[in-house]
Amino acid sequence: MGPMFVRSQPDPVLLSDIRVLHNLLVSESHHQRVRVRDYMAQVQQLITPNHRKIVTDWMLEVCEDQHFHPEVYFHAINYLDRFLCIQLVGRDTLQLVGLTALWLAAKQEELVPPGLEQLVTLAAESYTEINFRHMELLILAKLELRLAAPTPAYLLNHMIAAEEERDWPGSSWR
């Protein structure tokens, strides 16, 4: 019998603790060193919003094709935007950045993330394994290894749980 993989499930205790939601909201608004801003006007000179749209649409297709958990896409977009806020990128490199961001996110969320050979294939052999390794290191360095980011879906789970607890008889969270 081969290895058995089981996806982790949300912890109901953490979901019902309002302090977790509070900490997520605080970290989202105050503790991120790299804030997403209008990087197209302030940083990027070689790519346009349309280039970003093309790459993010393609990233979504990759996620669907690879049957990635939805959080992979949300985290990857977060990494992509935060990276583009601080690093000038050319049109010929944007797909490499997007796919590397997906790879980093898949390493966080998927039980079995894609390997380097699979990334090369997904990029139609436009980049090599060493290109992905170098981009991975660059993204990690520019983001200062801060990959944890509350995504809208993650926050929504906590908000729903907090709202449900709020309606319980005898709840002190009013």
Per residue in 132-156, pLDDT (tens digit) is 999 999 999 999 888 877 666 666 7
For the entire predicted model, the pTM comes to 0.71
**Residue among 82, 107, 80, 108 nearest 94 (CA):** 80
| Burial class of residue 52 in the structure, from the number of CB atoms within 10 Å of its CB (0-12 exposed, 13-18 middle, 19+ buried) | buried
For residues 37 and 48, what is the distance between their CA atoms, to the nearest angstrom?
14
Which residue spans within the chain are E strands per DSSP?
Answer: none
pLDDT of residue 6: 59
What's the confidence (pLDDT) of residue 167?
Answer: 52
Radius of gyration of the chain (CA): 18
Question: What digits encode the pLDDT tens for the residues 87-132?
Answer: 999 999 999 999 999 999 999 888 888 899 998 999 988 999 999 9
Concatenated DSSP letters for 131-153?
HHHHHHHHHHHHTTT------HH
Average pLDDT of the chain to the nearest whole number: 80
Nearest residue to 46 via CA among 90, 100, 102, 97 = 90
Q: What is the mean pLDDT of residues 76-82?
A: 93
